[in-house]
């Protein structure tokens, strides 16, 4: 089932804006907007004053108060980026923002399912998979001496491939 069909089944047939997060969310937001026939597809930007952080900004245009906004994410684990995007839009818009009561997520992988809502918005996910994530002090593998690595920075060590 497609996100558009799920939205339609929930009575949402009009969305003026489809907004995603940088960087992977840009392509997903564009393609989804094209698929749904949404007239405007935008993304927030990473704050250039904090390029390694999660601060987001919205400053290119103003969303009219009567327009509806569907926020989408290509991947959600903890909802930190999702929340930062919503905050950036609200803070940077200069007027009220009419977010639809749904968040479209391509891959939803929280540590514990089910997660049906983030705040007051219902999750509409195409793929949902619970991931195993525990704090280091609770990790049985760590207790046995296994090291924790972040995949991106340690890909060669983890896979033996460059």
Digit-coded pLDDT (tens) for 130-144:
988 888 899 999 999
Cis omega (within 30 of 0) for bond into 23: yes
Cβ burial 125-145 (10 Å sphere, 16+ → b, else e): beeeeeeeeeeeeeeeeeeee
Q: What is the CATH number of the domain that holds 35?
A: 3.40.50.2020
The strand ranges marked E within 58-143 are 68-76, 98-108, 117-118, 121-128
Report DSSP state, residue 148. P
- Per-residue pLDDT of 57-98, as tens digits, reads 998 889 999 999 999 999 999 899 999 999 999 999 989 999
Which residues constitute the domain of residue 83?
Answer: 3-133
Domain-located, residue 161: no
Model pLDDT, residue 48: 85
Domain-located, residue 147: no
Q: Measure the CA–CA gap between 90 and 123, rounded to whole angstroms.
A: 20
Domain-located, residue 159: no
Into how many domains does the chain fold? Answer: 1
Collapsed DSSP state (helix, strand, coil) of residue 154: helix
Domain-located, residue 61: yes
Domain-located, residue 154: no
């Amino acid at each position: 089932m497609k996100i558009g069909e799920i939205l339609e089944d929930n009575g949402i047939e009009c969305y003026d804006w489809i907004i995603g997060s940088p960087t992977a969310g840009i392509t997903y937001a564009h393609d989804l907007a094209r698929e749904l026939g949404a007239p405007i597809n935008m993304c927030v930007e990473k704050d250039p004053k904090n390029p390694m952080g999660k601060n987001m900004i919205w400053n290119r245009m103003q969303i009219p108060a009567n327009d509806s906004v569907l926020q989408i994410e290509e991947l959600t684990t903890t909802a930190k980026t999702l929340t930062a995007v919503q905050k950036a839009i609200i803070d940077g818009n200069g007027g009220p923002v009419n977010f639809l009561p749904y968040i479209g997520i391509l891959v939803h992988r929280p540590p514990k399912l089910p997660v049906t809502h983030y705040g007051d918005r219902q999750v509409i996910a195409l793929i949902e998979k619970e991931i195993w994530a525990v704090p280091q002090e609770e990790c049985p593998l760590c207790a046995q001496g296994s090291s924790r690595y972040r995949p991106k920075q340690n890909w060669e060590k983890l896979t033996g491939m460059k």
